[in-house]
Chains A and B, each alone.
Chain A
């Protein structure tokens, strides 16, 4: 039988990537403090209410991705600029999604991801972002830094919303093309000690966590250690 080898990512690469993106803050749209950004923000929140159409508040706001193509954005990015674009990057889309979840009364936190693709894919993105004079610091070989939202269900259980794709990440599927290798859930209190459960994985708040390697107990231990 012929086996097709897909590119594997060494543990060290992920650790290096985590190290590289450890200081990346979660993206957030800026506000000019004037009517321009007020209108933009009100439009997003009111439109989300219309798009939700009576569905449960935990429904992913896929309409954002339907309106905005995923692609390069320039930063800093203001509300009034972002809503007028045709293309938004993962940070802008995640930021909008976080805002609408929060406005719906859903507990939402920015989430940062490290995902694996292929050299062809990342090369393509490097060129595309380069053409727009946008930074490509989110690409490292076959790995990318990506953003989404963590929305809290019951207790500490979370779902991870990929606002750029318009889908929920599958907690049973880690690694592989497009697979999640590591994630960090960003909460306002740096030392909250909160631990979020995502499928069989656990994330201590504000700490990068490899997935597939760290069962819940390890994450809790790491969190306790960090607090100590």
Chain B
């Protein structure tokens, strides 16, 4: 019996070849095990259980057609082949679309059904698939996905690699790296599931499930790879549907379903690998020799029974002698100034991905319909390729089907109407555009919602954060629509007063609120919140001396478990005690209030709401410990406009109801929507200065705007409108491969990446960056203007 085994890479993210060899050796002591590798840098080639080594040139050099013929010859001659490399399995499936009796890997149709991230074949298993979105969607939608899932998301490659991207900046960086590495734009973002990693590993031959085991990871490497685990039987409620799926897919080969079990016991399926996992010998040690079981089924040769050594296994690090005929290759020269010698993908996996893409054998995790590299075009066209994956309710955005993904963000009609009202012909750019209709409608909606939620027992009000955009037009709109003014300095207080607010409509907040001296209004403010205990003592002193008058005085709480520099901490029992004692000193003639603020766009929407609930719990404690009723609850903020508008009526109604339930004496709930109202209210017009339109693909275009006008570019994408200079028509820029370079001589002055300039775009055309009315406007600076 001769068995070829590939996937011998044995680094920190190992392939299964060595484990399969060990298991087969235990079951078939006389079998000839031939290791197949594509790099002599893969240390598994030196594993002593391998009788021979069939070392190929790396994938970038291999003649795929000739290699396929040789493998066919080996299989026809009776040798078995067990692959441990996903891409090799995909390629082999294109060479042998219906399989080969001696090829112990799944057929083409079966692999299509398990492609990431939807893993279509999982239907019937007691698992769920974490929500995901294709990166073909517009950046606007991808940013929304990240916020919706609290930035606990993974950016995943089509075959391998997953990287946490907790910020927009990191997402953009990793996307560029993975796109380059895997030669595809079609990556996907998937939500993180917190829990314990578990797997089901199985083997099958011609649609018959031969054996399966359940493995729980008990120790993990820093990369999250198994270092120890325990192996048990697969429960029947999992095994029964698995048996049916294996039959339907006519599966041959090993496989691993990688899952996470959350705290509620729900299993979440991350992926299904069409091969044995690297820990496969752990299963053998537990008495389930899956590779041997598969070989037994394929050959009819009985495997030697392997005793169980218990259900737990662990790894150790072993040194083995190097085979003299395959001495270690020299280390590549480090790049000048570079750090370390990368040993990643020594067998040329990335090159294989690129080649298979070009041959259209794979299409981003699924199969294309091209040839298999033999030049004989034997690959049969599949029913559905990556463009038509069926996904049921787990994909976000426009769904995962590429046909539905335009990569074009949706632009609200009011934006377009406002933009069209400007005459750009004489406009000097870059220029800020006040989108009046848009702004007015947002303030109207916020005011209406507050009125709707107000009851005789408690008023709901909005607070306009002046710092977000101190434009007088916005401050006046806020006042018109019943907002209170939230100021962080006495200068901002004065501005609010100049815009028509009365002092008793002003909330004073923040660590530097008394700056500059001498501008404190003589009459009563609505509320003052202390940002520290020292600030609270100063406030008490000012109240007692009559220097300050305020209807409400209170404290801003620092959010425990979410890093913040603002507010009074409660993160230790001592801190809570100090706060309680300090609140005792507040004058009884003032009502008491609590304020907390955390930017929802930074921590994510669900996180913000759970933070809200936890802050209510702190308020409850403070009330019970101080005996002071909380009469004003002021919450914010930093809402991304879309999040604030989506279902906000229901969410805020629920939030207000909960606040009243927990704090029965609360008389006013102030919501500070922050940039949710300011951001959509302005756009930034700029012009294309120059790009090389002689080239088919424009990679870079220079604009007269810059990060000096769009300082939030690193934190959020902007939807961009382009005006066709001939027709005057406005269209949003869709996803593409062009970077818009700002006018500044600064390396990081890139105001947009991955956009597509429409055909016919030319220098002088106007672009409007929407969503720039928040901190882009208020934090913009003068730079490079002489």
Residues of A within 8 A of B (CB): 35, 38-40, 42-47, 49-56, 58-59, 80, 83-84, 153, 170, 172-173
Residues in chain B near residue A50, CB distance under 8 A: 559-561, 611, 614, 617-618
Selecting from B39-47, B103-111, B120-128, B567-575, the interface stretch reads B567-575
Residues in chain A near residue B62, CB distance under 8 A: none
Q: Contacting B607 at CB < 8 Å: which of A53, A172, A173?
A: A53
Chain B nearest CB, measured from A68 CB (Å) = 12
Chain B nearest CB, measured from A33 CB (Å) = 14
Residues in chain A near residue B606, CB distance under 8 A: 54
When C-beta atoms are compared, the residue in chain B nearest to A168 turns out to be B196
Supply 11 A–B pairs (Cβ within 8 Å), ascending by A: A39-B576, A39-B580, A40-B573, A42-B576, A43-B572, A45-B621, A46-B570, A54-B610, A56-B262, A83-B573, A172-B311
Q: Once the chains bind, are B576 and A56 in contact (CB under 8 Å)? A: no
When C-beta atoms are compared, the residue in chain A nearest to B265 turns out to be A153
Q: Once the chains bind, are B573 and A84 in contact (CB under 8 Å)? A: yes
Residues in chain B near residue A59, CB distance under 8 A: 263
- Please classify how large the interface on chain B is, using the bins under 10, 10 to 19, 20 to 34, 35 or more: 20 to 34
Q: Once the chains bind, are B264 and A43 in contact (CB under 8 Å)? A: no
Given contacts A49-B614, A54-B606, A83-B573, contact A43 B621 (CB under 8 A): yes
Question: Given A49-B617, A51-B561, A52-B614, list of 6 further CB < 8 A pairs?
Answer: A35-B580, A35-B625, A43-B576, A43-B621, A46-B570, A50-B560
Q: Once the chains bind, are B614 and A39 in contact (CB under 8 Å)? A: no
Q: Summarize B's interface: helix, strand, loop or mixed.
A: helix
Q: Contacting B263 at CB < 8 Å: which of A45, A47, A55, A84?
A: A55
Given contacts A43-B573, A172-B232, contact A58 B621 (CB under 8 A): no
Q: Once the chains bind, are B621 and A172 in contact (CB under 8 Å)? A: no
When C-beta atoms are compared, the residue in chain A nearest to B613 turns out to be A49
- In Å, the complex CA distance between A43 and B606 comes to 24
When C-beta atoms are compared, the residue in chain A nearest to B620 turns out to be A46
Given contacts A42-B625, A46-B570, A49-B617, contact A56 B560 (CB under 8 A): no
Residues in chain B near residue A80, CB distance under 8 A: 573
Q: Once the chains bind, are A39 and B573 in contact (CB under 8 Å)? A: yes
Given contacts A46-B614, A46-B617, A49-B617, contact A56 B264 (CB under 8 A): yes
- In Å, the complex CA distance between A43 and B576 comes to 7
Residues in chain A near residue B194, CB distance under 8 A: 55
Residues in chain A near residue B559, CB distance under 8 A: 50
- In Å, the complex CA distance between A80 and B580 comes to 15
Q: Once the chains bind, are A53 and B610 in contact (CB under 8 Å)? A: yes
- In Å, the complex CA distance between A153 and B194 comes to 19
Given contacts A39-B577, A46-B570, contact A56 B263 (CB under 8 A): yes
When C-beta atoms are compared, the residue in chain B nearest to A60 turns out to be B263
Q: Once the chains bind, are A46 and B610 in contact (CB under 8 Å)? A: no
Q: Once the chains bind, are A42 and B621 in contact (CB under 8 Å)? A: yes
Q: Once the chains bind, are A47 and B625 in contact (CB under 8 Å)? A: no
List CB contacts (< 8 Å) of B594-624 with chain A: 606-607, 609-611, 613-614, 617-618, 620-621, 624
Report if B197 contacts A (CB, 8 A).
no
Residues in chain A near residue B531, CB distance under 8 A: none
Residues in chain A near residue B617, CB distance under 8 A: 45-46, 49-50
Given contacts A46-B618, A54-B606, A172-B232, contact A39 B625 (CB under 8 A): yes
* Interface flags, B619-656, vs A, CB<8A=1, else 0: 01100110000000000000000000000000000000
Residues in chain A near residue B621, CB distance under 8 A: 42-43, 45-46
Chain B nearest CB, measured from A201 CB (Å) = 16
Residues of B within 8 A of A (CB): 194, 230, 232, 262-265, 311-312, 559-561, 570-574, 576-577, 580, 606-607, 609-611, 613-614, 617-618, 620-621, 624-625
Chain A nearest CB, measured from B602 CB (Å) = 15
- In Å, the complex CA distance between A39 and B626 comes to 10
When C-beta atoms are compared, the residue in chain A nearest to B230 turns out to be A172
Q: Summarize A's interface: helix, strand, loop or mixed.
A: helix
Residues in chain B near residue A52, CB distance under 8 A: 610, 614
Chain A nearest CB, measured from B777 CB (Å) = 33
Q: Once the chains bind, are A84 and B230 in contact (CB under 8 Å)? A: no
- In Å, the complex CA distance between A99 and B456 comes to 37
Q: Once the chains bind, are B311 and A42 in contact (CB under 8 Å)? A: no
When C-beta atoms are compared, the residue in chain B nearest to A103 turns out to be B617
Residues in chain A near residue B607, CB distance under 8 A: 53-54
Chain A nearest CB, measured from B565 CB (Å) = 17
- In Å, the complex CA distance between A173 and B232 comes to 12
When C-beta atoms are compared, the residue in chain B nearest to A35 turns out to be B625
Residues in chain B near residue A55, CB distance under 8 A: 194, 263
Q: Once the chains bind, are B625 and A84 in contact (CB under 8 Å)? A: no
- In Å, the complex CA distance between A49 and B618 comes to 9
Chain A nearest CB, measured from B577 CB (Å) = 5
- In Å, the complex CA distance between A97 and B205 comes to 49
When C-beta atoms are compared, the residue in chain A nearest to B580 turns out to be A39
Residues in chain A near residue B311, CB distance under 8 A: 172
Chain B nearest CB, measured from A171 CB (Å) = 11
Residues in chain A near residue B580, CB distance under 8 A: 35, 39
- In Å, the complex CA distance between A186 and B620 comes to 30
- In Å, the complex CA distance between A42 and B618 comes to 8
- In Å, the complex CA distance between A39 and B618 comes to 11
Given contacts A38-B625, A46-B621, A59-B263, contact A53 B561 (CB under 8 A): yes
- In Å, the complex CA distance between A23 and B201 comes to 47
Q: Contacting A43 at CB < 8 Å: which of B230, B312, B570?
A: B570
Chain B nearest CB, measured from A178 CB (Å) = 13
Chain A nearest CB, measured from B553 CB (Å) = 22
Residues in chain B near residue A170, CB distance under 8 A: 230
Residues in chain B near residue A35, CB distance under 8 A: 580, 625
When C-beta atoms are compared, the residue in chain A nearest to B312 turns out to be A173
Residues in chain A near residue B561, CB distance under 8 A: 50-51, 53
Residues in chain A near residue B262, CB distance under 8 A: 56
- In Å, the complex CA distance between A172 and B580 comes to 47
Q: Once the chains bind, are A54 and B609 in contact (CB under 8 Å)? A: yes
- In Å, the complex CA distance between A42 and B625 comes to 8
- In Å, the complex CA distance between A46 and B577 comes to 13
Residues in chain A near residue B577, CB distance under 8 A: 39
Chain B nearest CB, measured from A149 CB (Å) = 15
- In Å, the complex CA distance between A38 and B230 comes to 44
- In Å, the complex CA distance between A39 and B576 comes to 7
Q: Once the chains bind, are A58 and B263 in contact (CB under 8 Å)? A: yes
When C-beta atoms are compared, the residue in chain B nearest to A58 turns out to be B263
- In Å, the complex CA distance between A59 and B195 comes to 9
Q: Once the chains bind, are A42 and B230 in contact (CB under 8 Å)? A: no
Residues in chain B near residue A49, CB distance under 8 A: 613-614, 617-618
Chain A nearest CB, measured from B214 CB (Å) = 11
Chain A nearest CB, measured from B267 CB (Å) = 14
Q: Contacting A47 at CB < 8 Å: which of B232, B571, B624?
A: B571
Residues in chain A near residue B312, CB distance under 8 A: 173
Chain A nearest CB, measured from B518 CB (Å) = 39
Chain B nearest CB, measured from A156 CB (Å) = 16
- In Å, the complex CA distance between A208 and B773 comes to 67
- In Å, the complex CA distance between A47 and B614 comes to 8
Q: Contacting B560 at CB < 8 Å: which of A38, A47, A83, A84?
A: A47
- In Å, the complex CA distance between A80 and B312 comes to 43
Q: Once the chains bind, are A84 and B574 in contact (CB under 8 Å)? A: yes
Residues in chain B near residue A172, CB distance under 8 A: 230, 232, 311
Most chain B C-beta atoms within 10 Å of own C-beta, residue among A38, A50, A53, A172: A50
Chain B nearest CB, measured from A77 CB (Å) = 14
Most chain A C-beta atoms within 10 Å of own C-beta, residue among B571, B580, B621: B621
Chain A nearest CB, measured from B282 CB (Å) = 15
Q: Once the chains bind, are A38 and B573 in contact (CB under 8 Å)? A: no
Residues in chain A near residue B574, CB distance under 8 A: 84
- In Å, the complex CA distance between A219 and B673 comes to 58
Residues in chain B near residue A83, CB distance under 8 A: 573
